[in-house]
Amino acid sequence: MRRALIVILLAAGGLALGIEYRYLRRSLAAERSEVDAAWTQVESALSQRAEVLRDLEAMIEKEAPKETAIVAAASSAQVRLEQAPSPRLKIQANQQLEQILARLLLCAENYPQLENSQALGNLEDALRSSEDSIAEERRKYNDAVEHFNARLAVFPNNLVARLGGLDKIDVYFPTSATEKP
């Protein structure tokens, strides 16, 4: 009788642990999906900026044909960003593109016909808007990563994550040029 009671208690305890494991695993997996969804929104914002950048490159190429080197560098940086296979590499490519973009805009200021152009003003407004969108999506992504990592740091979540193959995410999208990815 005593042995049967022990077996029943052990079975009930094992069942309770199994149910808790499944609940935590699903919860952590859902949170990881939220991080992935936030990254998708970052990529979408980067793609929107890419469209504006292509228009800016075309305008500078047309109005300032001497500036082909900076236009080619911007185009090349954009291709590297689009083809980067991982978030870490996309973040690094984005930082390079932002530096080149600053030079591209500075270049446009050297040409009065461009600087005084309504079309350039519209592109600069669209670029500002896309940069704001990138900043907002970047903030959401970083928040999602921070929350996910905080959940993984707590017991028993850390054990469940380890058993379930969920690892800490160490890729943050810097919010300023001085931060490192």
Whether 73 is covered by a domain: the verdict is yes
pLDDT digits (tens, 9 = 90+) for 110-143: 888 777 788 888 988 999 999 999 999 999 999 9
pLDDT given for residue 147 in this prediction: 93
In 3D space, the residue among 45, 43, 31, 44 whose CA is nearest the CA of residue 144 turns out to be 31
Residue 69 covered by a domain = yes
Tell me the C-alpha distance between 89 and 117, whole Å. Answer: 35
pLDDT of residue 178 exceeding 50 = no
Full residue range of the structural domain in which residue 26 is found: 21-164
User: 42 in a domain, yes or no?
Assistant: yes
Name the domain count of the chain: 1
| Of 45, 95, 96, 104, the residue nearest 69 (C-alpha) | 104
Q: What is the CATH number of the domain that holds 90?
A: 1.20.1440.20
pLDDT digits (tens, 9 = 90+) for 11-25: 877 777 788 788 888
Task: Count other C-beta atoms under 10 Å from residue 162's C-beta.
Answer: 11
Q: Does residue 10 lie in a domain region?
A: no
Question: Does residue 130 sit within a domain?
Answer: yes
User: How high is the pLDDT of residue 163?
Assistant: 81
Residue 61 is assigned to a structural domain of this protein: yes
